[in-house]
Amino acid sequence: MKIIMLGAPGAGKGTQAKKIAAEYGIPHVSTGDIFRANIKENTELGKEAKSYMDKGQLVPDELTVKILLDRVAKDDCKKGYVLDGYPRTIPQAEVLDKAVKELNEKIDYAINVDVPDENIINRMSGRRACVKCGATYHITFMPPKKENVCDNCQSQLIIRDDDKPETVKNRLKVYHDQTQPLIEYYKGQGILKEVDGTKDIDVVFEDIKSILNA
Ligand code: ADP
Ligand code: ADP
Ligand code: ZN
């Protein structure tokens, strides 16, 4: 099964993608996580990506597309995958479509996690991420068992550099300009599914499962 998660920054794509990956036994592929891993290791790619991410801009398509195609070509993606944060532009979607078509395969679902802008700033200011394993939490909606400590690996939780309110506003603008048109794009392909992302995390996941199990 191949699934794309669509939605604004902070809509809950990553949270739901991790649950889908665990439930259906497919890899969770997040371009944001790949970029952040490169930033941590101080690679050339990481340095270049960081200069865009810190401003709330998109990393250019030519870089991003290559990273994604390399990742989905790996063996574990033969059984499918859930993409979180890719595509973010129409050209990125077109490259993915072409790659999938060349393998005589198809994307099964594009799930749009719908959350209005007014909820987003709140979501992002409460987001905390594990420095080590990348697990994400929310100080109110998904608190760790112990404050500022990861449930999985006991490492420290941090606020992402790009989750500051000024940067979030810019990311929302970029989302509306460049990413939101993908909703119509996948509607046109007949694979778009919508879920109400303002509901509780577990309720959203139940809604997604009923789509995937239909
Ligand atoms: P969120 O879902 O909260 O916006 P992500 O981890 O998906 O966070 O992305 C963080 C940042 O990484 C984005 O703001 C952007 O700069 C960069 N990024 C991630 N995926 C892509 C992509 N597909 N195209 C361009 N930039 C990307
Ligand atoms: P995205 O990957 O779309 O940027 P995340 O999955 O990282 O979004 O979620 C953003 C923040 O909101 C995180 O702190 C997460 O714990 C929290 N969150 C996710 N889904 C919900 C929800 N349905 N209700 C409340 N908070 C949520
Ligand atoms: Zn951790």
Domain-embedded: residue 13? yes
141 lines ligand 2 (CB under 6 A): yes
The answer to whether residue 138 sits within a structural domain is: no
Does residue 109 fall inside a structural domain?
Answer: yes
Catalytic residue among 71, 88, 128, 193: 88
123 occurs within a structural domain = no
In a domain, 95, yes or no: yes
Residue closest by Cα to atom 5 of ligand 1: 32
Please, what is the Cα angle at 46 between 32 and 133, to 5 degrees? 50
Written as one string, the DSSP assignment of the chain is: -EEEEE-STTSSHHHHHHHHHHHHT--EEEHHHHHHHHHHTT-HHHHHHHHHHTTTPPPPHHHHHHHHHHHHTSGGGGG-EEEES---SHHHHHHHHHHHHHTT----EEEEEE--HHHHHHHHHTEEEETTT--EEETTTB--SBTTB-TTT--BEE--GGGSHHHHHHHHHHIIIIITHHHHHHHHTT-EEEEETTS-HHHHHHHHHHHHT-
Residue 153 falls inside a structural domain:
no
Our answer on whether the CB atom of 9 is closer than 6 Å to any ligand 2 atom is: yes
Is 126 inside a domain boundary?
no
Q: In this structure, what token pair is assigned to residue 4?
A: 């794309």
Active-site residue 132, yes or no? no
Give the pLDDT confidence score for residue 3 in this predicted structure.
Answer: 98
CATH number of the domain where residue 11 is located: 3.40.50.300
How many Å lie between the centroid of ligand 1 and the Cα of residue 9? 8
pLDDT score for 21: 98
Domain membership of residue 101 as a residue range? 2-115+179-212
Pocket flag, ligand 1, residue 7 (CB < 6 Å): no
Residues in Cβ contact with 102 at an 8 Å cutoff, skipping those fewer than 6 apart: none
Is 39 touching ligand 1 by the criterion CB < 6 Å?
Answer: no
| 135 inside domain | no
pLDDT at 50: 96
Q: Tokens standing for 6?
A: 């669509």
Q: How confident is the model at residue 120, as a pLDDT?
A: 93
Instruction: Tell me, yes or no, if 40 is annotated catalytic.
Output: no
* Ranges of residues in the chain whose predicted pLDDT is under 50: none
* Nearest-angstrom CA–CA distance, 192 and 7: 12
Tokens of 23: 């439930």
State how many domains the chain has.
Answer: 1
